Chain A
Amino acid sequence: MTLKDLKPGQSAVVKKLSGEGAVKRRIMDMGLTKGAELLVRKVAPLGDPLELTVRGYELSVRKADAEMIEVELKN
């Protein structure tokens, strides 16, 4: 499953990132790397983007970019 499929309140671990170049690098620079734990906090009022907690801070990611992040659900 990808990050896009997660519901608010769900935690997951990053498995793999697809995509390449600037987009992938930017996402990884912000701490979404293989093995990173994340928690989906909420979805923006208009339905996009998402708000996550990763590496102890809040990050917002668009659903289109979230689709590139493969995750594994935690508990």
Chain B
Amino acid sequence: MAITIALAGNPNAGKTTLFNQLTGSNQYVGNWPGVTVEKKEGKLKGHKDVVIADLPGIYSLSPYTLEEVVARNYLINNRPDAILNIVDGTNLERNLYLSTQLKELGIPVVMAINMMDVVEKNGDVLNLEELGKAMGCKVVSISALRNKGVAEASALAVAEANGKNDTVVQHKFSEQVEGAINSIENLLEGNVPESQKRFFAIKLFERDDKIRNEMPEKAKNLDVESIIAAVEKAEDDDSESIITNERYNFIQSIIEAAYVKRAQKGLTVSDKIDAIVTNRFLAIPIFAAAMFLVYYISISTVGTAMTDWVNDVLFGSDPWSFFGLVEVPSIPGIATSALEAMNVSEAIQGLVIDGIIAGMGAVIGFLPQMLTFFFFLAFLEGCGYMARVAFIMDRIFRKFGLSGKSFIPILIGTGCGVPGVMASRTVENERDRRMTIMTTTFIPCSAKLPVIALLAGAMFDGSAWVGWSTYFLGISAIVFSGIVLKKTKMFAGKPAPFVMELPAYHWPRLIDILKSVGERGMSFVKKAGTVILLATILVWFLSRFDFGFNYLPEEDMDSSILAAFGNTLTWLFAPLGWGKWKAVVAALTGLIAKENVVGTFGTLFHYAGAEALADSGDQIWPQVKEYFASGIVGYSFLAFNLLCAPCFAAIGAIKREMNNGRWTLFAVAWECFLAYCVSLVIYQVGGLVTGEVSFNPFTIVAFILILVGLWGLFRPYKEAETLSDSQELAVEKARA
């Protein structure tokens, strides 16, 4: 029969490495349903019928953070056959805290003490036998990094799982607490399975209502309040804290018995690195240099060169030369000749080449840049620097409901929003993570630069302030969204304070980094790819067919369904100053890729010069200037295009990371809504100042929007201390 072994442990205990060692390439990566927490499963190497379920890295089984709730729901409801608990031997005290809780679940536990080689090198001695006796479970020492002891650990776990032995909770609390728990256990007698009795008793004592509600009817309604109150009064603390204290007291007693620490040594290597890396004066320059390097390699040079190659050469129109040896036709080139040879209609050719292949190009084109960046990201996470990034940047970002780690997604977002959004996965708190996903694409990405250049050139004589102002606008939109949204009900609630471990630095394994890069790349292609492909095909179809479903040559886009659709939407954009169909259609095609805005204007203005239209559309600047008539209108159009829904690829990435349709929709809707309001204010108020717009009902709307915005920014609010409704909902869903 198939058995399941749950892999549990603290973050930074080496769980990822151990999981990779146990399962090899046989892994499935997904999400826990409805939440943004990653879920990994894999088959144990050499055992077809043993599934290893990798739980999120957690410090405790408290009911307060999403990762912990997900993990404990899994442990309680799915009841794996055994738990393999990875414990960082160099950080025994805190790691054992989770172990004491895992032991109480009534599921066989095998403890794998990782990094024993480091412990020994430090001259410390850990008595495994003593530890196992104290904890009441099998203990083995392993080195996940060197693949030592891993096979033994998994064999023990399999044996425990097959043995179906009832487990004994060995650790005892103080006499008084133990007495209270025993009385609750007696009340529970017969109402819950014997193996879970102690677990439920402790949870009732802690007043953990989430568990209480999961319990059988009779047990649920037990009145234990008087038992709890007596202990609380005696100890002058709440029952939850009493248990936490007791656990650490118990651990201290084990450490005294089983662990001999060599006398205080000097600074560790990690301490020495941190003396420089998080130094008061050097921290920020070093951070800036590290970020510059990551950006320079993955966005400015290597990554972009590869992405450009895929987009312009592999998916370009002309054949390319393979190191000057052979002429290789591009993918669209191959498809064109094949389709021509088959003699299919122009419309089908268009569908395949401009719809499907272009859509695939949009998905695959982002990959090289993304993979290069993910490589750095995985390295920064793996070596421990990412926690320092949060440490250094926390003060600034927490004001906007973001995490210090949100800096990286936003920075990368200036290059491309797609990897930017996907980088949000490093943010540990779900609320901060969602906020990061929603706001990252406000910052102008490289595909928006041609649009900025077009408007700046056409309307403002190429003035440099236009470019700078768009970054200011993007940052303001992030800050504004952060402050306003964190006060709303959707984001209210703060599951955990910022109490973060700064793990010891270590050199990550290349294979673990590559696995993480591969996983993220694949999940983008699989989860985001379909959305991107379908949306690209749809917009292509609308722009190249008229209502009689006749296929139109590109220059006749004027009579396409999309043009007609744009025409029906002009009223919507009239208050923004550009309620004209060409502008609306250009903005719509911008959804495929933002730089398309320029090309669409070229098509719609029937540009037919000898040379190809420049990236920034230099040749059509006069027409654009005439079309938008004033700088205010042009800037309103620009602001809308920068802030509104990002391209389909980025929307796909948002969907992938949110892992939830409603949140994806909310993110995109918020972006469009904010873009609309900002453009409306720019046009109405700006126009009123310059005198080109007279006072009208929308002037009032603009001023109301400003007031509402200010109210949102400055209204008081109090950080809640429990999971919010929406998170509860997600947790409920995860349980279902």
Contacts and interface: CB of A to CB of B under 8 A. Distances in A.
A26 interface: yes
A71 to B, nearest CB: 16
A59 B500 contact: yes
A51 B500 CA distance: 9
A26 B64 contact: yes
A23 B284 CA distance: 29
A60 interface: yes
A26 B94 contact: no
A44 B394 CA distance: 9
Interface in A8-31: 17, 20-31
B499 A57 contact: no
**Best-surrounded residue of A20, A22, A61 (most CB of chain B within 10 A):** A22
A51 B30 CA distance: 34
Contacts of A35: 245, 249
A26 B502 contact: no
A33 interface: yes
B721 A22 contact: yes
B395 A46 contact: yes
A65 B91 CA distance: 23
Interface stretch (B171-179, B349-357, B459-467, B489-497): B489-497
Given A17-B241, A56-B91, A49 B283 contact: no
Contacts of B281: 45
Interface string B188-203: 0000000000000000
A26 B499 contact: yes
B722 to A, nearest CB: 6
A42 B388 CA distance: 13
Given A26-B497, A49-B391, A59-B502, A33 B245 contact: yes
A21 B392 contact: no
B244 A44 contact: no
Nearest to B88: A57
Contacts of A20: 238, 721
Interface string A32-61: 111110000011111111010001111111
Nearest to B206: A25
A62 interface: yes
B245 A22 contact: no
A59 B278 contact: no
Contacts of B387: 60
Contact of A21 (B60, B244, B721): B721
Given A17-B241, A51-B391, A22 B498 contact: no
Contacts, number: 132
Contacts of B270: 58
B284 A57 contact: no
B208 to A, nearest CB: 10
B65 A26 contact: yes
B396 interface: yes
A46 B248 CA distance: 33
Contact of A56 (B93, B241, B244): B93
Given A31-B93, A46-B395, A22 B64 contact: yes
A24 B284 CA distance: 31
A25 B101 CA distance: 14
A1 B97 CA distance: 27
B244 A29 contact: yes
B394 A62 contact: yes
B280 interface: yes
Nearest to A52: B502
A49 B394 CA distance: 7
Nearest to A62: B498
Contact of B278 (A42, A56, A61): A42
A15 to B, nearest CB: 12
Given A26-B62, A44-B395, A65 B497 contact: yes
Interface in B473-524: 494-504
A29 B62 contact: yes
A14 to B, nearest CB: 10
Interface in A55-75: 55-62, 65
A61 B244 CA distance: 19
B59 interface: yes
Nearest to B98: A29
A33 B248 contact: yes
A31 B97 contact: yes
A19 to B, nearest CB: 8
A57 B396 CA distance: 25
Contact of B502 (A28, A32, A46, A60): A60
A40 B392 CA distance: 16
Nearest to A16: B237
B555 interface: no
A51 B396 CA distance: 17
B130 interface: no
B280 A42 contact: yes
B92 interface: yes
Contacts of B500: 59-60
Contact of B499 (A44, A46, A56, A61): A61
A22 B502 contact: no
Contacts of B117: none
Contacts of B556: none
Given A28-B241, A31-B248, A45 B501 contact: no
A9 to B, nearest CB: 13
Contact of A22 (B59, B284, B494, B501): B494
A57 B503 CA distance: 8
Nearest to A47: B395
Given A20-B238, A31-B93, A31-B97, A44 B497 contact: no
A29 B59 contact: yes
A49 B497 CA distance: 12
Interface string B403-435: 000000000000000000000000000000000
B245 A44 contact: no
B499 A30 contact: yes
Nearest to B101: A29
Contacts of A24: 241
**Best-surrounded residue of A30, A43, A48 (most CB of chain B within 10 A):** A30
Contacts of A22: 62, 64, 494-497, 721-723
B60 A29 contact: yes
B308 interface: no
B381 interface: no
A34 B245 contact: yes
B38 interface: no
B404 to A, nearest CB: 9
A28 B274 CA distance: 25
B278 A25 contact: no
B94 A27 contact: no
9 A-B pairs with least C-beta separation: A58-B502, A29-B60, A22-B64, A46-B395, A55-B93, A45-B283, A28-B244, A21-B721, A23-B497
Interface of B: 59-60, 62, 64-65, 90-94, 97, 238, 240-241, 244-245, 248-249, 270, 274, 278-281, 283-284, 387, 390-396, 398, 494-504, 721-723
Interface of A: 17, 20-36, 42-49, 51, 55-62, 65
6 contacts: A20-B238, A21-B64, A25-B241, A45-B284, A57-B504, A62-B499
Given A33-B248, A56-B90, 12 more contacts: A20-B238, A23-B721, A25-B244, A26-B499, A29-B62, A30-B499, A51-B502, A56-B91, A59-B500, A59-B501, A60-B391, A60-B394
